[in-house]
Chains A and B, each alone.
Chain A
Amino acid sequence: MKVFRKAKHIREKYLEENMWPSIFCQACGIGTVLSCALRAIDKVGLDLDKTVFVSGIGCSSRLPGYIDADGLHTTHGRAITFATGVKLANPELDIIVFTGDGDLAGIGGNHFIHAARRNIDMTVICVNNYNYGMTGSQLSPTTPVGGIATTSPYGNIESPFDLSALAIGAGAPYVARWTTIYPHETMMAIKKGIEKKGFAFIEILTPCPVGYGRRNKLKQGKDYLLWFKQNSIARSRFEKLSEEEKRDCRKVVIGGLQDVEKPEFTSEWSRLVDKHFVE
């Protein structure tokens, strides 16, 4: 019963009632991502009056509309640039960005790495479902080699991006990757991301049975979950592997991948202003 009470609490406190039913397909994982994010927000105790949800274009980018808070649904790939403006104009606001693999790493890749490099305080939650779902399951920068998309009908020949590695390489101080089969861990990772003073990136491998799945023998939601389970390995377990095993490991490493302290942009700017301000 406690579980239901919690769900009711989350629903009543955070959801925008006028927007239901959602646009999401059957067995889509984006709802799980929203649930994890809201539970994390609840745990942290974020004030929704002081939180802005920003997104680009795509299925996952529709999420801010379902939350009863300020939302900015922007242009394709540019969510992080708008979020940068909001945060820098009013550093007291908490910023949560919802994005997808195509939005973030395809059209918006440049903004992603630069915001991570600048270390602007925001939490970027990326729904990685290996394809452009909203436009009809086209090839994305994270589609696995051999993956069938509507624009890779003979199988993808391109190397996919490892988004979390990209974020770490670009300097993000907090990076975690989970899949929707681990909702509790996903929620805790988002919580840590929100609490991080700096650019936090949480990549969530998410099922898209109607788009990517049905073309890749993952038509049922449960097939997807099994696929995620079989093809992912927790970081703690991965680190115990021998060098040889690590090299041969074809599984996706999940878990907290980066957690360091770095100077954050708005704090540094605040210091800079206080030094040069003319009374």
Chain B
Amino acid sequence: MRKPRTKPAAASKYQPVRPFTEEEFSRVRRVLGQKVLFVQGDAAVSYGALLAGCRFFAGYPITPATETSEILSQLLPRVGGVCIQMEDEIASVGAIIGASRAGAKSMTATSGPGFSLMQENIGYAAMTETPCVIVDVQRSGPSTGQPTEGAQGDIMQAKWGSHGDYELIALSPSTVQECLDLTIDAFNLSEIYSVPVILLTDGIIGHMREKVVLPEFEEVELVWRKAPTRPKDEFQPFFDDGSKIPETATFGTGYHTYITGLTHSDTGYPATDSQPEHHRLVSRLCAKIRDNRDKIIKVQKDYQDGAEENTIGIVSYGVTSRSVNSAVKLLRREGLNIDHLRIITNWPFPEKEVAELAGRAGRIVIPELNLGQVYHSVREAAAGQCDIVPMWKTGGEMHTPDEIIRVVKGNG
């Protein structure tokens, strides 16, 4: 009665789901060659993914994110993984969610128009608590906009893009090295909190070449999702053991889990007509991120000691931080008191950190490559403690340090 057809030979190296040991890590290092590289942001993201244990990539070509697909299509077979070009971005997210449920660390990469298409399935990943990483190499929108130009226009969409109430994590690198480091962080966070994580790079960093130093095995912490601790007949895929983060049973391991985007009870089966069940589920999905915000949120504070009344705060994130760093140096040389808060974790939003800065500074300048996105969150967190001065720029060019200096000095 056994199935008569042939399966892939067990000896095949094609095994996207395999224990990630030091041997696997050093294989990636061997494949990547030298320890110090001079590469684009899109490449650094690919390398970070491989080092984090990602063995499944599905994507659809879109400028300025295609390099990630190209590089991973070359490298994933060399480490036993899969890279598939899907028919669209909707399919790409579907495939990475399916792969994740089968036990693989999985990722896709896209840009604005593709990111818009992905939103429904990102909501599905949030609802079903499926770990996965989505890289959005932001470009000028709306619509087709400026395909080859960078922007920071998808910050709000990253959080609010799918319908209903949910929380996810979004990270903004500002250097090519950080593209690699934060990709590893993104995988870890998605595995710890069973949540989709968005990496918000942009067309500028994505295509910019910088020095990247690859980490050693001992230098990186790699996390894997919580495996079931209960016996198969007692296991419930969405049971909250108090941590608010359920254990994940991989497909094919005999746990017989049912995963649905419908409102479900702890058993995983639909409970669509229950108000308390829905409220409990959605509240937990949000609380598992909100309650752990201190562990999740990363910012970089470049504050001057002994804040005075005339301190000016600057909040930046992503590629914009690079111009701000130069501006801060020049402004301090002129004797101005500048506190620079660089946001690394865009979502959950670092409200406490911004509120603290608002308490120190007379006003906060916030340069962004959009027409006001993080500005709103900053204003909300500052809660009227100080003035918020937006600096909005679109069209694919960064703020120059000079432009920032003029606004900080009040001559903008």
Contacts and interface: CB of A to CB of B under 8 A. Distances in A.
Nearest to A84: B95
B101 A72 contact: yes
Interface string A74-111: 11001001111111111111100000000000000011
Which DSSP category, helix, strand, loop or mixed, fits chain A's interface?
Answer: helix
A50 interface: yes
A270 B14 contact: yes
Contacts of B94: 74-75, 78, 81-82, 84-85, 111
Of B90, B91, B98, B269, the most chain A CB neighbours within 10 A belong to: B98
B126 to A, nearest CB: 12
Interface in B223-266: 251-262
B260 A65 contact: yes
Interface stretch (A41-49, A142-150, A236-244): A41-49
Contact of B13 (A84, A114, A273): A273
B259 A71 contact: yes
Interface in A26-58: 43-46, 48-50, 52, 54
B257 A18 contact: no
Contacts of B6: 197
A19 B3 contact: no
Nearest to B55: A89
A73 B124 CA distance: 10
B12 A274 contact: yes
A267 to B, nearest CB: 6
Contacts, number: 184
Given A75-B120, A81-B86, A270 B12 contact: yes
Contact of A71 (B55, B258, B261): B258
A260 interface: no
A111 B98 CA distance: 14
Interface stretch (B102-110, B149-157, B360-368, B372-380): B102-110
Nearest to A55: B260
Interface in A159-185: none
Interface stretch (B72-80, B135-143, B206-214, B326-334): B72-80
Given A84-B84, A276-B78, A277-B13, A89 B258 contact: no
Interface of B: 1-9, 12-14, 16-17, 27, 30-31, 55-56, 58, 77-80, 82, 84, 86-88, 90-104, 106, 120-121, 124, 251-262, 267, 269-270
Contacts of A273: 12-14, 77, 80
30 contacts: A18-B267, A19-B269, A45-B3, A48-B256, A64-B258, A65-B260, A68-B256, A74-B97, A75-B261, A78-B94, A81-B86, A81-B94, A81-B95, A82-B97, A84-B91, A84-B95, A85-B102, A88-B84, A88-B95, A89-B17, A89-B82, A90-B16, A90-B103, A90-B104, A114-B87, A196-B5, A197-B5, A197-B6, A277-B80, A278-B79
Contact of B14 (A49, A195, A197, A274): A274
